[in-house]
Structure 1
Amino acid sequence: MLITAIKLSYSGFVTYKTCPLKYYYQRRYPLKGPVYADFKIGNFLHEYFYSLLKGKEPVRDAESVWEEIKEDYELFSGRELRQDFASPDELVDYYTSLENKMIVWRDEQEYIKRLRDGMSNARILTAKMELHDFVTEEWIGAYMGEVNLYGRADILREGEIIDIKTGNEWQEDEIQMRFYGLIYYLREYRIPKVKLVYLLSGRVKNVPINLRSLESLLAEVMDAGKGIRNQSFPRSLGEHCNLCPYRMVCDYQTLRKEK
């Protein structure tokens, strides 16, 4: 993998930190093909939330939204995804063959419930937050040495970043917000307020952030950038392997010998 510049998003950073080999595979053998129901629902809820913030209230019901989301795809259970592959190329070809499929991990009624709860909480939260002077889905970035950090803020205001979550709460969410806070700090030389808005639970969470936490995160980011620059992609085994689509073909040393 020829590295001409180190562009590092939060997703890239956390992937490299968790398993450098997966970072390599994602770029050498990207998996394109199916769409994912959770992702499509997340996109809809984000746009619904933004519309409410802008004073518009689309009249939608969860059942009709779900029907629209799935109408162009054949539903395909994630539990039926093939597991055995002889090579990374075979893995890529398989995922490409699923381009007309939508991967589901839950039954349809649960997806409808997620839409219903998400829309209900969005109406409640936007009424309480009363945000003004904001932009949505704004790309932000900053250079630190040879590393270009970048990300897309769901809601950006003067001195504040807000991220909308449409799934369950995860500890990694706070790390993501600190990553965005780090970008803001490197650009503006001041620490922003950062918040997480969880549409499934209706919870708004203020993320603690200070100079020490940003300095610690920056050190980790620069270490990741150095590893990528040096093309250091060792395999890191752990629980994360259970959900990794590359787990059946992760033999980096063999791959390098074949190149």
Structure 2
Amino acid sequence: MRTLSSISVDTETKRAWIGGGVLLGGLYHAIAEKSPVLAFPAGTCPMVGAGGHVSGGGEGTLTRKYGLAADNVIDAKIVNADGAILDRESMGEDLFWAIRGGGGASFGIILAYKIKLVSVPSIVTVFAPNRTLEQNATKIVYLWQHIAYKLDRDLFIRILITQEHRNGKLTVQAQFQSLFLGKADKLLPLMQESFPELGLRREDCTELKWIEAALFFSDLPDGSTVNDLVTRNPNPRTYYKAKSDYVTEPISEVALEGLWKRFYEAEAEKAQLIFSPSGGRMY
């Protein structure tokens, strides 16, 4: 699929055609080259293929404001089992609905998507403060569950849970990663009102361009630049197993403490648990 890597961005109409083999990092970079105030709501991993990502739904930091990647697809070109190339009109609305979240490979080969670009401010704010169990992480994670889905749609906060060594002692750490579509001076009073328990400070916040925020969330090696978003293999090859699920009721503090016990096991050295909020457009 990597040969299906064309990207055509039209800033006037806020539309783009992307090949089924385009990687998310390459897409973000191509959009930013055309305009610093346009983006596409999709995932944080730059090496993920846009074709499969969109056909599975596509969730990311802009989802609460603009919906899934699949919600922002307005046309497509696919090859069906008979070898015919179809667009939205010729495939019909049922099939067009199915390839936007139902898994594109189940219904045909995705050649290209026409996507709707979304507006972002010229400056956004990111933060990622860490809280260990000794810093009341359990209580803060528990409270996050009650407010994250109700926050202003311009504010996305997810949590990364990992094993951590502090002062020679093994503990569990919660990192609160956030993207705010605006400047820090607007973010800080909003956080004080809606999530004061985190104790966010001005020095925790960094103002960036949106493409730089995409790099911030990308997990690329330290020292990477936005140009590295287009690199296909920036990290050493690793193998891991991942599983996702939805939680409809807050996990109790007792249950969270039970989860943390798993992170004290030797095999959890590189384990990671991610809590991502819905709400906003995702009700």
Normalising by structure 2, we get a TM-score of: 0.27
From the two aligned structures, give the one with the greater helix fraction: 1
